[in-house]
Amino acid sequence: MIFGIILLIAIMVLISVAITKIWNKGAARRRAGAEAQAARHGGQYVLEWDGPRAQGAADGEFGPLLVEILKKSGGAGARFYERGVVIGSKRVAYDNLKDAVFIPGNGSKGFTPQQKMRNAAVLWLYRKKGSTIGLRDLSYRFDRQTMEAIQKGLGFWPVD
């Protein structure tokens, strides 16, 4: 009985270590893409944006406004500038990001708020210091194409 419990714990630890290694390998590949992009821009982390530009004033610190993601309930949305993003009262320069991951989700399916939250699409912005920022399709009006373009535009896309 004790041997079975120890074996089960060992298997769970091995699975956790394997999952962590896989995640870290993907994160390292995404970071390599962002660093390569920064090298193309003289060491400066910027959002490369080919789509239509948002209408709005430039930011003194972050430069011209490129993309604005509106909130569903109104109010200030997420504004992606050339060198940083402003989400509510949070201002994050792109050089302070260690990763950006878009998870498409499978719609807002579910009966409970927890199910809807779990199934929602989200763009995660992982900061080097500070809390992670998540833009969920439950609160913001965005589409998969725009979120993937932002992730790619920041350089956090696997380098092949």
* Angular region, 7: left φ>0, alpha ψ -120 to 50, beta rest: alpha
Mean pLDDT, rounded, for 24-35 = 80
Structure tokens at 53: 């530009």
Among residues 42, 50, 43, 79, the alpha carbon closest in space to that of 63 is found at 79
Residue 107: which pLDDT band, with cuts at 50, 70 and 90?
Answer: low
What count of residues does the chain have?
160
What string of DSSP letters covers 51-116?
A: SPPPPSPPBTTTBSEEEEE-BTTSS--EEEESSEEEETTEEEEGGGEEEEEEE--S-S--SSHHHH
Structure tokens at 74: 């109104």
pTM over 0.85: no
- How crowded is residue 105: how many other Cβ atoms within 10 Å of its Cβ? 18
* Cα(156)–Cα(8) distance, integer angstroms: 36
Residue 109: which pLDDT band, with cuts at 50, 70 and 90?
Answer: low
Among residues 78, 137, 77, the alpha carbon closest in space to that of 106 is found at 137
**What percentage of the chain reaches a pLDDT higher than 70?**
93
The model's pLDDT over 66-98, given as tens digits with 9 standing for 90+, comes to: 999 998 887 778 999 999 999 988 999 999 999
pLDDT at 159 over 60: no
The model's pLDDT over 40-63, given as tens digits with 9 standing for 90+, comes to: 889 899 999 998 899 989 999 999
| Cβ 159 vs Cβ 134: under 8 Å | no
